[in-house]
Amino acid sequence: MNAVNRRSRTQDEWIALRCQDGEQNAFEDLVALMERPLLYYATKLTGNPETALDVLQEVWMKAFREIRRLKDPGSLRPWLYSITHGTAVDRIRKHVFRERAEEAHVVGLQEPADISFTEDDAAAIHEALDELGPKHREVLVLYFLEDFSLAEIAMAVECSEGTVKSRIHYAKRAMKEILSGGGYGKSK
């Protein structure tokens, strides 16, 4: 775990403990810290900013009711992403037929060549994320933007680490195809 992750985990733990103790303004601090990344995640999962706002509202209500039951305050961030995931998935299921079950264990995946991007490519990357399916978008957001480990992603999206690896693999491949069609990114 690098210094930034340790600092973030410590900050998360401190806010969670303050919320659990019922400290005045602690939940407001939590919302201020996590609202933007959770809204982004919910938007990428649902594909709809208005639905994402509804999801986020439910997330905050659930978090407020259940934060005292959080056993590991240091896992606040994955816990919030797990609530967001579950809430978004429930919303998606109301509007879309279930996708076929994914294979839980994937053996011998060949990783496509990693791609490096300049700052100018950031907008294209965010647009390309919108072209992916929800399951692929969410793992890329958590893996690359939130720097979650495979175990933390598995906890947040409620699936096995093997499924997470599979989704990341196929999502990276799809992103490469989408972005190479637009002339973005350079293979390493």
Answer yes or no: is pLDDT of 161 > 80: yes
In the block, residue with structure tokens 């982004």: 40
Residues 61 and 119 in one domain: no
Q: Is residue 135 part of a domain?
A: yes
Q: Are strands 115-116 and 186-187 parallel, antiparallel or unpaired?
A: antiparallel
Task: Give me the chain's average pLDDT, please.
Answer: 81
Phi, psi of 186 (to 5 degrees): -135, 130
Domain span including residue 127 = 115-187
CATH code for the domain of 39: 1.10.1740.10
Residues 119 and 57 in one domain: no
Q: Is residue 17 part of a domain?
A: yes
| Residue 179: per-residue pLDDT | 82
| Residue 108: per-residue pLDDT | 44
Q: Is residue 109 part of a domain?
A: no
- d(CA 57, CA 61) in angstroms, rounded, equals 6
Residues 25 and 74 in one domain: yes
CATH code for the domain of 174: 1.10.10.10
Answer yes or no: is pLDDT of 37 > 50: yes
Residues 73 and 126 in one domain: no
Residues 91 and 131 in one domain: no
More confident position, 28 or 159: 28
Residues 8 and 74 in one domain: yes
Residues 132 and 73 in one domain: no
Q: Is residue 52 part of a domain?
A: yes
What tokens appear for 118 in the block? 């300049």
Q: Of 37, 65, 95, which residue constitutes the final position of a domain?
A: 95
| pLDDT tens digits, 3-14 | 656 778 888 899
Residues 138 and 70 in one domain: no
Residues 128 and 156 in one domain: yes
| Residue 187: per-residue pLDDT | 46
Q: Is residue 100 part of a domain?
A: no
Residues 28 and 77 in one domain: yes
Percent of the chain scored above 90 by pLDDT? 37
What mean pLDDT is predicted for residues 51-61?
Answer: 95
Residues 74 and 137 in one domain: no
- Flag the least confident range among 1-5, 28-32, 41-45, 135-139: 1-5
| Residue 100: per-residue pLDDT | 38
Residues 146 and 78 in one domain: no
Biggest distance spanned by C-alpha atoms of the chain: 52
| pLDDT tens digits, 86-130 | 999 888 776 554 343 344 334 444 454 555 556 666 777 788 888
| Residue 134: per-residue pLDDT | 84
Q: Is residue 129 part of a domain?
A: yes
What tokens appear for 128 in the block? 């390309």
Our count of domains for the chain comes to 2
Are 184 and 120 in contact by the 8 Å Cβ rule? The answer is no
